[in-house]
Amino acid sequence: GLPAVKILRAYVSAIVEAGGAPILIPPDLSEDGWRSLLDRLDGILFSGGADIGLEHFDGESHPTVVVESVRDAIELPLLRAAVDENKPFLGICRGLQVMNVALGGSLYTHILDQLPNALQHDWKDKPRDTLAHPIRVEEGTRLMEILGVSELQVNSLHHQGIKDLARNLKISAFAPDGLVEGIELPGHKFALAIQWHPEWMTSRQEMRNL
């Protein structure tokens, strides 16, 4: 097909259902361009997608890695700017990994080979709302406040995950194998990211809350 800048409808529909007006940020904007947008937006959603370039976190090479370097170039500095300017943002899947890497953390580049006793986290061959595993939500976190439950079943569509947590971040949820499923930045207006995809499960109240 012809070149296109696109995002899956599930993100758009979820934002609309929540009362927002979604604006797509093209990844090839100049810094002046995205900074002028940042001033106008109420918040930013860092969506799912392919992998972050290994050079951004000294990652271990793996044959499964598929990099989206055009997105890296805008998303890493955009997230750091959102942190500096106290601009609300939510990261989903790749968005959680962008948040951790942008703030100095690292990733497993293929969980099944690098995390001992790992669960299957890459359920891309199943329907996107397939419940893959439970997560435990940590007490006293913003995520717990939003979801209102300490345990829930989530979908899972990723092969990478957090290895070393960025220094200022707080873990808000874990999978049973110990993998980080939620992170947040204390003291920020709203800086939160999760490893699952709530936009595919908006029939559930806690996902709509998020």
Among the listed residues 60, 110, 199, 206, the single catalytic one is 199
- 145 catalytic residue (yes or no): no
Compute the distance between CA of residue 193 and CA of residue 46 in angstroms, rounded to an integer.
Answer: 9
- Please list, residue by residue across 139-155, b when 16 or more beta carbons sit within 10 angstroms of its beta carbon and e when fewer do: eebbbbeebeeeebebb
The pair phi, psi for residue 98, each rounded to 5°, is: -60, -45
List all residues 6 or more positions away from 115 whose beta carbon is below 8 Å from its beta carbon: 108, 161, 177, 178, 179
How much is the CA Rg of the chain, to the nearest whole Å? 16
The candidate with the shortest Cα–Cα distance to 117, out of 62, 61, 180, 179, is 179
- 199 catalytic residue (yes or no): yes
Strand order in the sheet with 151-154: 44-46, 89-92, 191-194, 180-184, 170-174, 133-137, 151-154
Among the listed residues 93, 121, 133, 184, the single catalytic one is 93
- 75 catalytic residue (yes or no): no
Cite the active site residues. 93, 197, 199
